[in-house]
Structure 1
């Protein structure tokens, strides 16, 4: 959809452009009511979104986080509700959330885009405050997956530290 189309959403378009730039396939499609999240579906290692049904654009970032923290072979095979990936080290909900927060920062969005009132089982405000205070649940897993670095020692070595990422997709 051209950016000046009547249904254009600049926020959504920024998120989609970022995800494509970091290597996550994102396509617009008509989705039914059976999507795991309204207006979002994981399909063959990428994301489908329905502009008319997507209520919270930040949901794309969170679902992209689930894909990004998976090793490439598992990422390519993921569809629908991402079942079966919880046993992969450093690829759980907490790492996906940390990845999505880093993406939010990289895009320059308010944390409330990710931690919106309709998400995180009523814990959005608490998560936003936690991350705002510099407490980053899930960052250890991202470090272990060699996607970012954290801590004073890493900063002293001149490494890019979280919430900046060294790589957006797990290798």
Structure 2
């Protein structure tokens, strides 16, 4: 499937689930090309975007974030955003949950997992992550169950809700 079709499917999915995003143009360099968090909205510069799967991972941060804190996602969320307000373990948990969420979303959209786990990402561990998720393992999906997002009847990667409603705070 070509890049433009992948982007169209991803944006249609984000519209369908009500995840906030905006297509914009920006001049400054960002953590991931063509993507930035801006006060609770995922902003996309489609001319700078290199990997459509990166949209799914970054959208996953919004989807799994504590509902009352979603509006605080801003900049590089591990250097700014929520880092100074939360324990490192909670941030890492949400990173793993966002990864699992992006896998569930990719499978829902009919994508190969290499769309999310492309060769340029995940510190050279893309193939290991693909293998783990394809074999029923992988990181973060137990948290999706704890957040009451994954399907109780069919289990991960099936989802009963795409946006976290349950708060632990």
TM tier relative to shorter chain:
0.7 to 0.9
Q: Secondary structure at the match of 1:27?
A: strand
Cα RMSD of the aligned pairs, angstroms, is: 1.8
Aligned length: 156
Shift of 1:135: 0.9
What do residues 116-163 of structure 1 show as CA deviations (whole Å, max 9, x unaligned)?
0111111111101111111132111111111114xxxx5xxxx23110
Q: Which runs of 4+ in 1 moved over 4 A?
A: none
TM-score if structure 2 supplies the norm length?
A: 0.85
Q: Secondary structure at the match of 1:112?
A: helix
CA contact (8 A) 1:90 1:144 kept: no
- Give the whole-Å Cα distance in 1 for the aligned partners of 2:129 and 2:65: 22
Partner of 1:105: 107
Partner of 1:129: 131
Partner of 2:33: 38
CA contact (8 A) 1:95 1:138 kept: yes
Q: Secondary structure at the match of 2:161?
A: coil
2:13 corresponds to 1:18: yes
- Give the whole-Å Cα distance in 2 for the aligned partners of 1:140 and 1:36: 27
CA contact (8 A) 1:65 1:97 kept: yes
Higher percent of residues as helix? 2
Alignment of 1:60-75 (within 5 A): 60-75=55-70
TM-score if structure 1 supplies the norm length?
A: 0.84
- Give the whole-Å Cα distance in 2 for the aligned partners of 1:143 and 1:39: 31
CA contact (8 A) 1:26 1:47 kept: yes
Match of 1:80 among 70, 75, 81: 75
Q: Secondary structure at the match of 2:164?
A: coil
Shift of 1:91: 4.6
Larger Rg: 1 or 2? 1
